[in-house]
Amino acid sequence: MDRLVIQGGHKLNGHIPISGAKNSALKLMVACLLTDQPITLTNMPSLADTRFLAQLLETLGVEVYWPKGSATCHLNAAELKSTIAPYDQVRKMRASFNVLGPLIARSGHATVSLPGGCAIGARPVDLHLQALEAMGADLKVEQGYVKAAAIHGLKGAHINFSMPSVGATEHAMLTATLAKGETILENAAREPEIEDLADCLNAMGADITGAGTAVIRIKGAESLTGTTHAVMADRIEAGTYAIAAAAAGGDVTLDGCPVEALGAMIAKLREAGVTVDADEAAHTLRIRRNGTHLKAVNLSTQPHPGFPTDLQAQFMALMAIADGTSVIRETIFENRFMHAPELSRLGADITVRGQEAIVKGVRQLTAAPVMATDLRASVSLVIAGLAAEGETVVNRIYHLDRGFERLEEKLTACGAQIERRSEDEE
Ligand SMILES: CC(=O)N[C@H]1[C@@H](OP(=O)(O)OP(=O)(O)OC[C@H]2O[C@@H](n3ccc(=O)[nH]c3=O)[C@H](O)[C@@H]2O)O[C@H](CO)[C@@H](O)[C@@H]1O
Ligand SMILES: C=C(OP(=O)(O)O)C(=O)O
């Protein structure tokens, strides 16, 4: 299994290009199931998750042409050969569950394994299922699979989500594009990836308004067409490198950065004493910290436009070396502090109490071997390793490869000393 070896204490200086967003790309790929015409996605991040989803789509009969090293992926679901999404292909990744609704819309029935994804909480799919049932699907959950049929087709519905869920909003939106009549989603999630998906679906002939707000209206169409769509830039990747630059110190500019989607994170970095120059028009974010001390700041994760849960672990690594005590509240997932004990191995002083982590900043972190537990937790350990004194080894990094494209290359180009080693090399 691969590990990352980081020699800490080097400042980061230079430019980092931001890749396409994993969490957008995955749902955009699923959209290909809604049409028998070709879809082309550009700015595609080549990640374990996106490659893995491509395999699931191939199992369903989608022709995928996505050469290694290319950021352009062609998907053609002219004919589906299966409506079964097996456990082994769904368990690793949350987004793959979103094939359920589109398969029902296209074929009238589907059998899809319950999903996996990062182990950061219970993560039920009740809201997904309620939305599909409201649209007329008959559902049974048996032996870990959802078995679904809509013999009379899907119909538009008025769905009021009990809480905003990114996945359930996207799932309902994808499905409703081919349902008969109008669907209204209330208390919908407002994450930017939902707007990106709506833009692509509208280019395919769907009629969606309100994406990015809490009320989304979808007028169902008879059929959708092919299109070409550029995946939006990854706000979580961008936020991660911004926090890394703040932690290690230096002067880093993020190119192709979705600045407008990062307001809450930029505000917290500034509050912590980091110099941030944001240029929305140029899509750049420059982060500078040369010598100034970091200040402890409190934060609470919130649905967009609040501070994203997917940047909480990274910000905790930063607060571990700030002056003072910060309180970090996780309100989205009930078990998303698994990085805290690993950060403590590097000398961080963190106490977890329920949904809160109390982080008392220390002057200096010191290197240690650590274990990556989930995607964003893994990268928080990389950030801590960059700031720590000595050689930090981050073990079990397959999680990182799910969501960060060419991480070592991007950081090394800015002066980080970080190297991937596989067990056979040691
Ligand atoms: C692939 C992808 O895009 N993943 C993102 C997506 O995950 P995901 O779509 O799984 O996250 P949700 O927004 O659905 O989850 C938010 C909360 O709602 C709960 N919930 C969700 C669905 C449901 O049917 N019932 C229910 O109770 C969840 O357990 C969680 O507590 O949004 C999260 C919140 O921004 C991010 O951390 C993930 O990176
Ligand atoms: C939690 C994440 O992914 P998933 O929803 O696929 O588990 C993430 O991207 O941080």
Digit-coded pLDDT (tens) for 293-332? 999 999 999 999 999 999 999 999 999 999 999 999 999 9
Ligand 1 center to 329 CA (angstroms): 17
Q: What is the dihedral of CA 169, 173, 174, 179, to 10 degrees?
A: 140
Residues β-bridged to residue 356: 329, 353
Decide: helix, strand or coil at residue 315. helix
- Give the C-alpha separation, 401 to 59, whole Å: 22
DSSP per-residue letters across 359-380: EE--S--B--EEE--SHHHHHH
- Give the C-alpha separation, 387 to 248, whole Å: 5
403 Cβ closer than 6 Å to some ligand 2 atom: yes
Q: Which amino acid is at 299?
A: L
- At 424 the pLDDT is 63
State which ligand 2 atom lies nearest to the alpha carbon of 94: 6
- Give the C-alpha separation, 194 to 177, whole Å: 14
| Contact indicator for 95, 168 with CB cutoff of 8 Å | no
Digit-coded pLDDT (tens) for 11-47? 999 999 999 999 999 999 999 999 999 999 999 999 9
The complex scores an ipTM of 0.99
Decide: helix, strand or coil at residue 2. coil
| Contact indicator for 33, 99 with CB cutoff of 8 Å | yes
Determine the number of helices (DSSP H) and then strands (DSSP E) in the chain: 14, 24
Nearest CA to ligand 1 atom 29: 123
DSSP per-residue letters across 152-183: T--B--EEE-SS--HHHHHHHHHHHTTSBSEE
Ligand 2 center to 169 CA (angstroms): 16
Ligand nearest to the CA of 167: 1
- Give the C-alpha separation, 89 to 232, whole Å: 25
Give every CB contact of residue 359 below 8 A, 6+ residues apart in sequence: 296, 316, 319, 320, 322, 325, 326, 327, 328, 348, 349, 350
- At 373 the pLDDT is 86
DSSP secondary-structure letter at 389? B
Residues touching ligand 1 (Cβ under 6 Å) are 23, 26, 94-95, 121-128, 163, 165-168, 189, 191, 309-310, 332-333
> Is 94 labeled as ligand-binding?
yes
Nearest CA to ligand 1 atom 21: 165
| Each residue's pLDDT expressed in tens, for the chain with a length of 426 residues | 799 999 999 999 999 999 999 999 999 999 999 999 999 999 999 999 999 999 999 999 999 999 999 999 999 999 999 999 999 999 888 899 999 999 999 999 999 999 876 778 888 999 999 999 999 999 999 999 999 999 899 999 999 999 999 999 999 999 999 999 999 999 999 999 999 999 999 999 999 999 999 999 999 999 999 999 999 999 999 999 999 999 999 999 999 999 999 999 999 999 999 999 999 999 999 999 998 999 999 999 999 999 999 999 999 999 999 999 999 999 999 999 999 999 999 999 999 999 999 999 999 999 999 998 899 999 999 999 999 999 999 998 988 999 999 999 999 999 999 999 986 665
- At 117 the pLDDT is 67
> Is 124 labeled as ligand-binding?
yes
- At 422 the pLDDT is 87
> Is 332 labeled as ligand-binding?
yes
DSSP secondary-structure letter at 424? G
State which ligand 2 atom lies nearest to the alpha carbon of 23: 9
Residues forming CATH 3.65.10.10 domain(s) in the chain: 3-18+233-421, 22-226
- Give the C-alpha separation, 226 to 212, whole Å: 23
**How big is the CA angle at 297 (ends 296 and 302), to the nearest 5 degrees?**
150
Active site amino acids: 118
93 Cβ closer than 6 Å to some ligand 2 atom: yes
Domain covering 22-226 assigned CATH 3.40.50.150 in the classification:
no
User: Which of 273, 209, 261, 204 lies closest to 235 in space, CA to CA?
Assistant: 261
Cβ atoms < 10 Å from Cβ of 292: 12
* Superfamily name with CATH number, domain 3-18+233-421: Enolpyruvate transferase domain (3.65.10.10)
376 Cβ closer than 6 Å to some ligand 2 atom: yes
342 Cβ closer than 6 Å to some ligand 2 atom: no
Ligand 2 center to 417 CA (angstroms): 27
| Contact indicator for 10, 400 with CB cutoff of 8 Å | no
- At 169 the pLDDT is 98
**How big is the CA angle at 117 (ends 111 and 119), to the nearest 5 degrees?**
130
Ligand 2 center to 155 CA (angstroms): 30
- At 289 the pLDDT is 97
Ligand 2 center to 390 CA (angstroms): 30
115 Cβ closer than 6 Å to some ligand 2 atom: no
For residue 331, what are the CA distances in angstroms to 235, 303, 306, 380? 20, 9, 11, 18
| Contact indicator for 186, 127 with CB cutoff of 8 Å | no
Digit-coded pLDDT (tens) for 247-304? 999 999 999 999 999 999 999 999 999 999 999 999 999 999 998 999 999 999 999 9
